[in-house]
A and B are shown apart, each in its own frame.
Chain A
Amino acid sequence: MSWFLLLLQTSFRNIFSSFLNLVIGLIILVGTFFFVVGGSLVDSIDKGMSRSIIGSVAGNCQVYEASSQDSPAVFESWQIPDLDPIPDFSKIKGPLMSDPNVSAVVPEGINTAIVVYGNTIDQVLEKLRKAVSPGTRQPKAVVDSLKAHVRQMVSVIQTDMGKVNQIAASGSFDPQAGEDLKKASSNEFWGSFDSDPFNHLEFLENKIAYLIPDSDQIFLSYVGTDLDAYQRAFDRMEIVDGQMVPPGHRGMLLSKYDYEEMFKLKSAHRLDQIHEALTEKNKKIAKDPDLQDLVKQNKLQTREIVLQLDPLSSQKAVSILQGTLNSKETDLSKLLSAFFDTDDSNFESRYKVFYDQLASLVELYRLKPGEMLTIKAYTKSGSVDAVNVKIYGTFQFKGLEKSGLAGSESLMDLMSFRDLYGYVTPDKIAETKALEKTAGVSFVSRDQAEADLFGGSSDVEQSQQKAINDKAEMGGGAKVKRVDLTQRVYTQDEIEKGVAMGAAILLKDPSQLKATMKRLQAICDKDNLGLKVIDWQKAAGNLGQFVLALKIILYFATFIIFVVALVIINNAVVMATLQRVREIGTMRAIGAPKSFVLGMVLTETVVLGLVFGALGSALGSGFVMLLNHSGIPAANEFLYFFFSGPRLYPGLSLGSLIGAFIVVLIVTCVSALYPATMATKVSPIEAMASDE
């Protein structure tokens, strides 16, 4: 229609005819700019996060036993969902793999273990025991060095105890412990050590070791899985330290992130953190309270290092530190404090000295690939089970190295997992069920167990000692079994024929997720597998809802912006219309119907909106491109996960462009509606009014 073309043309020409139009235009420009940028960012985070979630544990979708109370939440290791087990994984793998879009089905189960680890003195005493035992006997120099190390530890603890005594009320300190310490530090004790080493060791192990509690409880969250299948399916996974668990073997891979966080010497880990903040995040110790806190902790917490060093190493450390600090101080602890008291100018040189010279004197990691770890976990029935697992190495996900979330779970072979979870075979399930039926008995025993664990003592040290003793017992008890199990090679059949808590499903074409899930659910229903299929977003628990939350925030903010815009635009169009009363009156006088006037005001506002909306979208797109070029750095580990890497390179999202277009259309139409109706009421008489 030619008069519509005229309307359009009039509209375009009217855009810059009034200052008010410029105001309207700018509002729309800013609104669309934020809409496009925000929308693209959210979409990119959505994509990044889905890459992180899908690529690390969840897979494209997950199946789990339909009768379960909860649904899987693969990233919520702090709260293990209550899932019923899938009794035989091998029975579900085949049917699920039959779908043409499924590339892998990986059995998974998530649990959290308690690892009581540490006590340097235990480790040194064990070394000493070995050094004096027949068969593993070491030269006298080594034995002497170890003896000196133990003696040094005793003196450290004696000093500590003295301090505690000064602070604490008298009588709170067990006088017997004081006597024991005195004995362990006496020359007579060490003089007679060589004549009867085992009795002396027993005394040290039983009476002294518990007084030096530098052990701690580590909560280790892990995924029990078919490790080979897992490695094939999640190709972002890579081994960092050590090696992959050999096929069919029992074993565990620690997440590199957890390994650094939990098993590295605390002082060293803190140095790493400061180093990273300074070099990669351009932070300054002087300005960042978190970094200052790390420095302070390093200054105060030198005991972990002091305890580790035998007298010879101590001497070396002292001379290194004296040289570095240009100091005459001889106390190692004080030297270390001074050494760790860093600022922006000297940090990097100290960092270098630490790793080049001091690190070789201490154990940087209290657990090394190849060593055994005793994992204690709560079984489904609530009791605690323990398994010794060999740590083969550490792993990380490419691009997610710095993410604590992606690295929140270690990997364990399915056999050990089943042992720990308390479900070994269907027979065992039946057995457990039978036990549950005779509830009376099991309740009593459980009560007793609880009383044993928590009721008996209120003294922390005592319970800690108990924990250590428990560990020792278990370690001893499982010794024979352990050797057998670590060497045993399981066939694929053995791995697959058994319990799994769920399975991650990886797809060849991820874009077909919804359709594939439908087909998979149909397969499960048809074959009576009793499984439920959920997508990665749901499987990720609350984390998966994060993007949804982001979207809601974005849309809400946009909504507010545009509601405000609506009001302002409405007012501006009213004013612009009032300015044009003569023109509108003339058109009416000449013969333009009301509908024409209505259409004119609407078209003009919409055209104005679209022109500035397009401009805003273009600017927004440009900005997104710019961000795409430079990337947005992930400021913390959460963002690292959401960005699926150290930087987010946002892509322009078509959805937000279309969304911006629709929103502008709606906002301008609605805001012009009132002024447009008002304009139709302009009388043609207005045209006749003279200028005066």
Chain B
Amino acid sequence: MPKNTEGQDIVSIQNVIKEYHLDKVVVPALRGVSLSVEAGDFLSIVGPSGSGKTTLLNLIGCVDVATSGTVLIDGHDTKSLNDRQLTDLRLNTLGFIFQSFNLVPVLSVFQNVEFPLLLQRKFTKEERAKRVDELLEKVGLDKHTQHRPSELSGGQRQRVAIARALVTRPKIVLADEPTANLDSVTGENIIDLMKEMNRVEKTTFIFSTHDAKVMSHANSVIRLADGKITDGKGAKAGAH
């Protein structure tokens, strides 16, 4: 059960249905999901492949919109926003950590982390450098700022990705199977790091996984199967 101080819902999802159209076949990915996430939560979404984990994260991450139902992110109804507004929401309110790290290969560690700040266009060079250096120190990469992603190990790359996700001080960080491409020890370390950030920065973390060990670190867990929540706060919410 979440034991966070804020207690405010930062994500609120109501009766969301998401269908994909493959040629003329309609493939349901989410079949009526309701869910609310309190600010500061460290939430894990679990379920087998094809259960709708990624779809749910995409909807929360504002990279996709629901077929029906409402998705409120930090009070914004994503259905009413245009591409530009969704982009701004992603830039300023959300942070992303990807399964395959997704760093820009030609940019250095420092530049990868700085990238979202540059897009925000509201900080001076010095301010940006200060933030980036601080974060890189926190993720333990202050010695590697000028390295290219290809010169780093998988764990190191994911640390860079975490730093990149946090650099704008977003309210929510979404992580899609952040440990799937890492060995168990490294994966553990990454989760510890995320937990640490969650504790220190009060950032809400929502991550998907099918690793029971990783799951055990979560404050709350939601289980998905066949596009429906089978257990967790969603189930509770659905019971309302």
Contacts and interface: CB of A to CB of B under 8 A. Distances in A.
B98 A586 contact: yes
A78 interface: no
Interface string A1-25: 1110010011001100100000000
B118 A691 contact: no
Contacts of B111: 6, 9
A189 to B, nearest CB: 105
Given A591-B87, A592-B87, A594-B83, A688 B104 contact: no
Given A10-B107, A688-B58, A691-B181, A593 B100 contact: no
A473 to B, nearest CB: 94
Contacts of A582: 100, 102
A589 B61 contact: yes
Nearest to B62: A684
Interface stretch (B73-81, B88-96, B139-147, B191-199): B88-96
B91 A590 contact: yes
A14 B87 contact: no
Nearest to B61: A589
Contacts of B119: 3, 590-593, 596
Interface in B171-195: 176-177, 180-181
A571 interface: no
A448 to B, nearest CB: 93
Contacts of B104: 10, 583, 586-587
Contacts of A591: 87-88, 90-92, 94, 116, 119-120, 168
A142 interface: no
A2 B125 contact: yes
A10 B104 CA distance: 9
Contacts of B107: 6, 9-10, 13
Given A10-B104, A14-B106, A687-B102, A589 B115 contact: no
Contacts of B99: 688, 690-691
Contact of A590 (B54, B57, B164, B177): B164
Nearest to A13: B106
Contacts of B92: 591
B176 A688 contact: yes
Interface residues of A, number: 28
Contact of B116 (A14, A590, A685, A691): A590
Interface in B97-115: 98-100, 102, 104-107, 111, 115
Contacts of B84: 593-594
B90 A10 contact: no
Contacts of A690: 99-100, 177, 180
Contact of A3 (B87, B106, B121): B121
Nearest to A17: B106
Interface string A588-605: 111111101000000000
Interface residues of B, number: 37
Interface in A645-692: 683-685, 687-688, 690-691
Contact of B54 (A594, A683, A688): A688
B9 interface: no
A596 B115 CA distance: 12
Contacts of A687: 63, 96, 98, 102
A204 to B, nearest CB: 98
B38 interface: no
B167 to A, nearest CB: 10
B64 interface: yes
A608 to B, nearest CB: 13
Contacts of A14: 106
B96 A589 contact: yes
Nearest to A593: B87
Given A591-B119, A596-B119, A685 B58 contact: yes
Given A6-B118, A17-B105, A586-B102, A685 B90 contact: no
Contacts of A688: 54, 57-58, 61, 63, 98-99, 176
A685 B100 CA distance: 13
A118 B100 CA distance: 97
A1 B123 CA distance: 12
Most central of B61, B83, B119 by chain A CB within 10 Å:
B119
B118 A589 contact: no
Contacts of A596: 119
Contacts of A1: 121
Nearest to B121: A3
A683 B83 CA distance: 10
B90 A589 contact: yes
Interface in A558-592: 582-583, 586-592
Interface string A81-96: 0000000000000000
Nearest to A596: B119
Contacts of B168: 591
A589 B58 CA distance: 10
22 contacts: A3-B119, A6-B107, A6-B111, A9-B111, A17-B105, A17-B106, A586-B102, A587-B115, A588-B63, A590-B96, A591-B87, A591-B116, A591-B119, A593-B87, A593-B119, A683-B63, A687-B63, A687-B96, A687-B98, A688-B54, A688-B98, A691-B100
Given A593-B84, A685-B63, 11 more contacts: A1-B121, A9-B107, A582-B100, A587-B115, A589-B63, A590-B96, A590-B116, A591-B88, A683-B63, A691-B100, A691-B181
Interface of B: 54, 57-58, 61, 63-64, 83-84, 87-88, 90-92, 94, 96, 98-100, 102, 104-107, 111, 115-116, 118-121, 125, 164, 168, 176-177, 180-181
Instruction: Please name the 5 residue pairs, one residue from A and one from B, whose CB atoms are nearest each other, closest first.
Output: A591-B91, A13-B106, A684-B63, A586-B102, A3-B118
